[in-house]
Amino acid sequence: MVKYLVFKYLRFDKTQPFISLCAILAFLGVSIGVAVLIIAMAIMNGFDKEFERKLFTMNYPITILSPFKEGVSKEDLQNLKANFKDIKFSPFISSQVIIKNTNKLEGGMIFGVNLDDEKEINSVVKDGAKNINLDNFGILIGKGLKDEFLIKDGDKITLLFAKNDAAGFSLMPKMKRFEVKSSFSSGLIAYDKSYIYANINDLAKILGYKNGKFDGIHIYSKDPFKDKDKINAVLPDRLVAVGWWEQNGNFFSALALEKRALFIVLMLIILVASLNIISSLLMTVMNRRQEIALLLSLGASKSEVKKVFFYIGMVIGGGGMVFGLIMGILGVWILGSFDIVNLPADVYGSSKLPMELSKFDLISIIIGSFIVVTLSSYYPAKKSTQVDVLSTLRNE
């Protein structure tokens, strides 16, 4: 009986078309809400992963620093290489600089590195450096700087260092002319306009570093979360290993908060659509009061009547969920496979819309939508059992 009545009440009623129209709108509302939520979460995840990949490369998985400014020694590097043979290391010297070319000035950060070691851990530097060498005061600059100063390979620019030289009764900033050998593009304008790479020995001479002394060590690890703790365990107290996620914690916390807020806001679309389920079911109950009263008088239980209207709501809402899932996953595939939306690469790090739908988000969407649809179906179903049988049969 329950199955028969469900299909009977779901059929289009020509005498009451508005009720059927509400059911169709509820179905479409849930479908669109689920589809939009899936696509939005895929875009947010895609941007998260894209930024994470860029920051993972340019900020390095793990960096060893000296909080007390004592620096890292060659012996520290050799000890790390002996203990972690499967991890790649690249010592560096760094300094803040002002880039000067003609009348333009720009702030930046210069890293003195061993280019062969740096290529092993930084794919961006590897792609930009190709077969060049940075000996004799050559530098590798970001594409943003190159475009800003209209520099070509082989041109020379002046770098002003934060460290000063004595000049009579005053101090003069250290200055040095470098030859631009090549450029790199990380996809993030903040790095392309500020990072510069030079030979570690050349930079050590300019800054007056002793032989075998570094500011830190960049490390490439396939599992930085575990390796960071292992490295800290063997480091002396004057050194500390810092993960890339710790250096960008606020950024990713903001992204996570934005993602949660977007999920809640878009879930409201499904909640609003579920109100149509409630209204259409309540109108169906009101329109079918005589039939409900008759069924109850003939021996049908309240549980069976409740099931009829609950199943109607679940068919409308559940069908909308399934249709929305299909539309959402299809939309994610289309947007991820074809260049329908073009983005400015210097702002977003990619010209293509990044799409990545995680299993956790998909399951959360399904569970959240199912709860909303279930609650929307339960209330009208419960109201259907509260029909006054005697009064209804007597008066209607």
pLDDT at residue 396, as a whole number: 54
pLDDT at residue 168, as a whole number: 47
Q: Quick one: pLDDT band at residue 388, thresholds 50, 70, 90?
A: low
pLDDT at residue 182, as a whole number: 92
In this predicted model, what pLDDT tens digit does every residue of 300-356 receive, in sequence order?
A: 777 787 888 788 888 888 888 999 999 999 999 888 887 777 766 655 656 677 788
Q: Is residue 273 included in any domain, yes or no?
A: yes
In this predicted model, what pLDDT tens digit does every residue of 154-184 receive, in sequence order?
A: 888 889 887 655 454 546 678 889 999 999 9
- End of a domain among 220, 238, 260? 220
Listed residue (235, 196, 201, 218) closest to 117, CA to CA: 218
More reliable by pLDDT, 240 or 393: 240
Q: Quick one: pLDDT band at residue 265, thresholds 50, 70, 90?
A: confident
pLDDT value at 197 more than 90:
yes
Residue 86 burial (C-beta neighbours within 10 Å; 0-12, 13-18, 19+): exposed
pLDDT at residue 7, as a whole number: 60
194 by DSSP, 3-state: which? coil
Percent of the chain's residues with pLDDT above 70: 87
Task: Please give the mean pLDDT across all residues of the chain.
Answer: 82
pLDDT value at 1 more than 70:
no
Q: Which of 74-83, 224-233, 265-274 has the lowest mean pLDDT?
A: 265-274
More reliable by pLDDT, 69 or 241: 241
Angle at CA of residue 200, ends 178 and 119, nearest 5°: 100
| 265 and 341 share one domain | yes
- End of a domain among 204, 220, 236? 220
| 148 and 74 share one domain | yes
Average pLDDT over residues 198-212: 88
| 50 and 66 share one domain | no
Q: Where are the alpha helices (DSSP H) in 188-288?
A: 189-192, 200-207, 224-234, 244-247, 249-287
* Phi/psi-derived region of residue 288, left when phi > 0, alpha when psi is between -120 and 50, beta in every other case: alpha
pLDDT value at 79 more than 60:
yes
Q: Which of 81-85, 215-219, 322-326, 382-386 has the lowest mean pLDDT?
A: 382-386
CB of 173 within 8 A of CB of 214? no
Q: Is residue 240 included in any domain, yes or no?
A: no
Q: Is residue 107 included in any domain, yes or no?
A: yes
Q: Where are the beta strands (DSSP E) in the chain?
A: 62-65, 72-73, 88-101, 104-113, 138-142, 156-167, 170-184, 195-199, 213-214, 216-220, 240-243
Q: Is residue 202 included in any domain, yes or no?
A: yes
| 17 and 75 share one domain | no
| 88 and 215 share one domain | yes
- Containing structural domain, residue 161: 62-220
Q: How many CB atoms lie within 10 A of CB 55?
A: 20
| 8 and 92 share one domain | no
pLDDT at residue 172, as a whole number: 66
Q: Is residue 174 included in any domain, yes or no?
A: yes
| 73 and 35 share one domain | no
Q: Is residue 225 included in any domain, yes or no?
A: no
| 179 and 72 share one domain | yes
Q: Is residue 234 included in any domain, yes or no?
A: no
Q: How far is CA 191 from the centre of its chain?
A: 19
CB of 98 within 8 A of CB of 107? yes
Highest mean pLDDT among 41-45, 133-137, 323-327, 359-363: 323-327
| 261 and 382 share one domain | yes
| 170 and 301 share one domain | no
Q: Is residue 1 included in any domain, yes or no?
A: yes
pLDDT value at 243 more than 70:
yes
Angle at CA of residue 359, ends 226 and 246, nearest 5°: 30
| 33 and 96 share one domain | no
Q: Which of 98-107, 239-248, 379-388 has the lowest mean pLDDT?
A: 379-388
In this predicted model, what pLDDT tens digit does every residue of 362-385 receive, in sequence order?
A: 898 899 889 988 888 888 888 777
The number of distinct structural domains making up the chain is: 2
| 40 and 67 share one domain | no
pLDDT value at 15 more than 80:
no
130 by DSSP, 3-state: which? coil
Average pLDDT over residues 83-104: 88
Rg (CA), the chain: 33
